[in-house]
Structure 1
Amino acid sequence: MKTVDLAYGRNGLKMAVPGDAHVIEPRHLEGLPDEEGAVRAALRNPIGTPPLKGMVKATDRVAIVISDITRPTPNHKLVPWLMSELSHVPRENFIIINGLGSHRANTRDELIQMLGREIVETVAIENHDAFDDARLVHVGRNTYGSEIWLNRTYVECDFRIVTGFIEPHFFAGFSGGPKGINPGIVGIKTILDFHNAEMIGHPNSTWGLIEGNILQDSATQNCLMAKPQFMLNVTLNGKKDITNVFAGDVIEAHRVGCDFVRESAMYAVDRPFDIVITTNSGYPLDQNLYQTVKGMSAAALIVRQGGAILSTSECCDGVPNHGNYAKILQMRDTPKELLEMIEDRSFSMFDQWQVQVQAIIQLKAECLLYSTLDDETVRKAKFTPIKDPEAALAALLEKFGPGARVAVLPYGPLTIPYVKVPVAVG
């Protein structure tokens, strides 16, 4: 046996696994020695745009879109550095828009955690509300027939900046870039279309794919209807240190960042595994069960049909208790029935996309969960609760018998494994 360190909550979790278990981690990248210097250099030498400072007038109303507390974007660094670079713009001209998508509003204490007290006390901040039509404006229709509603404050600002971080994403290919706008600050009607069963179920709506990915294409089209004039995205290592900076045009700079992430975060294996142990990258990504599906989705890429996924995810924020995720899970008795319900064109509820992905995973493999949630809550979500990951693993090894193959994703979806397609010879 050997011990692996799993990213779990804020403090991590040690787990003994077989000595021959295949541990799949991101190619380690050191944090930049001078993060602020690297960000300033990127702002002054961007990809696809002029330097940021020269693009913004002192009289401009400037929107800075950030990702919410469920994402590890280092807003507390990026926002002050952006504002310092734009020091010629009065502080009262800035508005920070928290890109919540359909998530709950973040509290003042959470905003201080995300941005720092000085920013929260001196700069206007708006929690985006996808459900309030009065705070949205219609900007067009995309080629998929979706009506695009965007945050009114953002659209009406003179200069718009979107921030974020880039990592593989389980159906949009990669996070960051256009996704900071869509679904970050669009209306719930647009979110529902963006995440409908057809879009989520498309074979190209998957990890690490940009070209041909209709989810990424939809996000791009929607973003360009009120294009941010500037993007600042970063990449992070397992310690949440900044490893690279991509700034400039929201499409061009983002694609360069995706290429960088693809090289460091995608990992090929020869064949599927019987058992895959995964996480959801620790806090803040593993703060609820809804987000935990992402780590399971990464594991599902390399688990065999009929295998097992053992997920460790703290879920300190519960299921969560807002949104429709928990409600939808109770609308049918089995994952198969849930999937059939969601794929019916007459069905439409926000959060259905997460249940759809979850059901697809559960039809492939048994899903066990170690978390702080009570057993009843876990069972209602169609997962098997476990109290001791090592004992659960021992039972799985006995079930699958001698020679059972085990893989471990200590950082969950920060590494995206995939099974290599054999090359035909002759």
Structure 2
Amino acid sequence: MQCSLRYGRGELTITLPDDADVHLIRKPEMPTLEDPVAAVHAAFKRPVTASDVPTVTLKQRAAQASSACIAICDITRPVPNHLFLRPLIETLREAGVPADRITIVVATGLHRPNLGPELAELIGDPWVLEQTTIVNHDATCDSDHVDLGKTPTRGTPVKIDRRFAQADLRIATGLVEPHFMAGYSGGRKVIAPGLAHADTIKTFHNHAFMSDPEARNCNLDENPLHQEQLEIVRMIGGAYALNTVIDEQRQLSFVNFGEITASHQQAVNVIGRYCRVEVPHAYDTVVTSAAGYPLDKTYYQTVKGMVGPMEILRPGGDLIIASQCSEGVGSPAFMDAQRRLTQLGPSDFLATLAGKPLADADEWQSQMQTKVMQRGRIHLYSSLAAEQRMLTGVEPTEDIDATIRQSLRRHGKRSVAVIPEGPYVIPFVGDERVPPIGTTMGSAR
């Protein structure tokens, strides 16, 4: 049997043994919008509001504003910016917001800036590039941020890009999908960490936050990152959001606009019906991807694809992941964290993180990888060079088909789970009780 995994800008075909019991895990078919741009305009006219707030259309709200700032996700997310940025900007201008007072900020968090051809690809519309001021957020530039104090619950220092925080009209745009720390992406997450200062990001990505069992895929209840993000939104005086949901072919399935928390929750309710997929039992062999381009540009983002299927991986099992990693491992900071992880091993590495109020940049991704390392064996099919593979801390494979066959032989089982879309699908076990995430290989049954 042959299956295809998302890999780079295309697909990777894998061949499974004829006698394998293959469970292909993907989202149920999602409806798509026949006229996406019309749906965007309709969303502006029917905004989602908090329960005690009267409905005001985008144009009515914009008529009261003298400036607007639009936050967009960086290149690592397949957000359909080409469908909504021009309608959004045109609506603001028609309402009276001066063109030179509308700014787009790329919400990079601590990621690198998106420039040149990459920025053009991200925006997806030459008109927007020509008509609008576009800047990249810089989390390390103190003067770019306004200090709003600390969150009331956990004391996270809140410093947010002043171009967004001080705009009359603040709009966060993005894609709502599973997120392995914050539950779901989009909405409040575009603001923090997207537009946050390094001190803010490093605080609510420290060891305590990352080790909280509620900081996981598809969970907002008692999720400490989500709770901090909501407090940060309140501290800047609120915001609006344009939320999108896409199907497996990355066509627009849903779009809404409105008050950031209420509209994001509505989008979560939509994608949550599709991205959580029930399976009958756990597996010793799980094959997945990092969702292809743009998410699999680096190994850093690949960790999301590893964490996604953890709930259905039996302790001691094999997680086999395909990720092109066309841009290498990731940032210098992440490479340093991975170097420490590979030298110390998961347990000793985690011991160095415990108690630190400020995480080092990107070491949270390495911490998330340890959860999978303690669960089972990780095998990576990628284009990484040999010296880069050494920093991953996982087992490289040049032949993914052979690795699958070896795993089936090792466990004496014929059952294999295949997740073509990687971290955009979060499988869970139905009736069978699986040891909780974090159970180590020593508990294999």
Task: Provide the TM-score with structure 1 as the length reference.
Answer: 0.95
SS of alignment partner, residue 7 of structure 1: strand
What letter is aligned with 1:196?
A: N
| Superposition pairs of residues 348-387 of structure 1, within 5 angstroms | 348-387=359-398
Where does residue 321 of structure 2 map in the other structure? 311
Mean Cα deviation higher: 73-82 or 53-62:
53-62
Where does residue 181 of structure 1 map in the other structure? 191
Matched length: 420
Where does residue 118 of structure 1 map in the other structure? 127
| Superposition pairs of residues 400-419 of structure 1, within 5 angstroms | 400-401=411-412, 403-419=413-429
CA distance in 2, matches of 1:284, 1:227: 32
| Superposition pairs of residues 79-228 of structure 1, within 5 angstroms | 79-88=85-94, 89-115=97-123, 116-142=125-151, 143-228=153-238
SS of alignment partner, residue 83 of structure 2: helix
How far did residue 262 of structure 1 move?
A: 1.0
How far did residue 299 of structure 1 move?
A: 2.0
How far did residue 379 of structure 1 move?
A: 2.3
Q: Is the 8 A contact 1:52 1:230 kept in 2?
A: no
How far did residue 422 of structure 1 move?
A: 5.6
Mean Cα deviation higher: 97-106 or 330-339:
330-339
CA distance in 1, matches of 2:188, 2:88: 19
How far did residue 206 of structure 1 move?
A: 0.9
Deviation string for 1:116-153 (max 9, x for gaps)? Answer: 33322331111000001011111121111111000011
Q: Is the 8 A contact 1:170 1:207 kept in 2?
A: yes
SS of alignment partner, residue 283 of structure 1: coil
How far did residue 419 of structure 1 move?
A: 2.0
Q: 1:285 aligns with which of 278, 290, 295?
A: 295
SS of alignment partner, residue 247 of structure 1: strand
CA distance in 2, matches of 1:404, 1:324: 41
Where does residue 390 of structure 1 map in the other structure? 401
Deviation string for 1:6-44 (max 9, x for gaps)? Answer: 111111111112442111001121421100011111111
Superposed CA RMSD in Å reads 1.6
How far did residue 345 of structure 1 move?
A: 3.1
What letter is aligned with 1:104?
A: R
Where does residue 40 of structure 1 map in the other structure? 41
Q: Which runs of 5+ in 2 are unaligned?
A: 50-54, 434-445
Mean Cα deviation higher: 342-351 or 213-222:
342-351
Deviation string for 1:274-295 (max 9, x for gaps)? Answer: 0111111111111110000001
Q: Which runs of 5+ in 1 are unaligned?
A: none
SS of alignment partner, residue 218 of structure 2: coil
Q: Is the 8 A contact 1:210 1:216 kept in 2?
A: yes
What letter is aligned with 1:31?
A: T
Mean Cα deviation higher: 226-235 or 65-74:
226-235
**Identity of counterpart residues, as a percentage?**
32
CA distance in 2, matches of 1:247, 1:346: 36
SS of alignment partner, residue 246 of structure 1: strand
SS of alignment partner, residue 12 of structure 1: strand
CA distance in 2, matches of 1:63, 1:108: 21
Q: Is the 8 A contact 1:375 1:385 kept in 2?
A: no
How far did residue 176 of structure 1 move?
A: 0.8
CA distance in 2, matches of 1:149, 1:135: 9
Where does residue 334 of structure 1 map in the other structure? 345
What letter is aligned with 1:363?
A: Q
Deviation string for 1:307-335 (max 9, x for gaps)? Answer: 11100011111112x24111011123322
| Superposition pairs of residues 243-262 of structure 1, within 5 angstroms | 243-262=253-272
Q: Is the 8 A contact 1:59 1:93 kept in 2?
A: no
* Closer/same/farther in 2, CA of residues 228 and 9 from structure 1, 3 Å limit: farther
CA distance in 1, matches of 2:84, 2:204: 28
Q: Is the 8 A contact 1:234 1:244 kept in 2?
A: yes
SS of alignment partner, residue 15 of structure 1: strand
Q: Is the 8 A contact 2:59 2:91 kept in 1?
A: yes
| Superposition pairs of residues 41-80 of structure 1, within 5 angstroms | 41-48=42-49, 49-57=55-63, 60-80=66-86
Q: Is the 8 A contact 1:103 1:323 kept in 2?
A: no
How far did residue 102 of structure 1 move?
A: 0.4
Q: 1:10 and 2:22 equivalent?
A: no
Q: Is the 8 A contact 1:138 1:148 kept in 2?
A: yes
How far did residue 195 of structure 1 move?
A: 0.6
SS of alignment partner, residue 317 of structure 2: strand
What letter is aligned with 2:133?
A: A
CA distance in 2, matches of 1:384, 1:78: 42
* Closer/same/farther in 2, CA of residues 175 and 347 from structure 1, 3 Å limit: closer
How far did residue 158 of structure 1 move?
A: 1.3
SS of alignment partner, residue 86 of structure 1: helix
SS of alignment partner, residue 105 of structure 1: coil
SS of alignment partner, residue 243 of structure 1: strand
How far did residue 173 of structure 1 move?
A: 0.8
Task: Provide the TM-score with structure 2 as the length reference.
Answer: 0.91
Mean Cα deviation higher: 116-125 or 388-397:
116-125
SS of alignment partner, residue 206 of structure 1: coil
Deviation string for 1:253-289 (max 9, x for gaps)? Answer: 1111111111111012232110111111111111110
Where does residue 26 of structure 1 map in the other structure? 27
How far did residue 200 of structure 1 move?
A: 1.0
Q: Is the 8 A contact 1:133 1:187 kept in 2?
A: yes
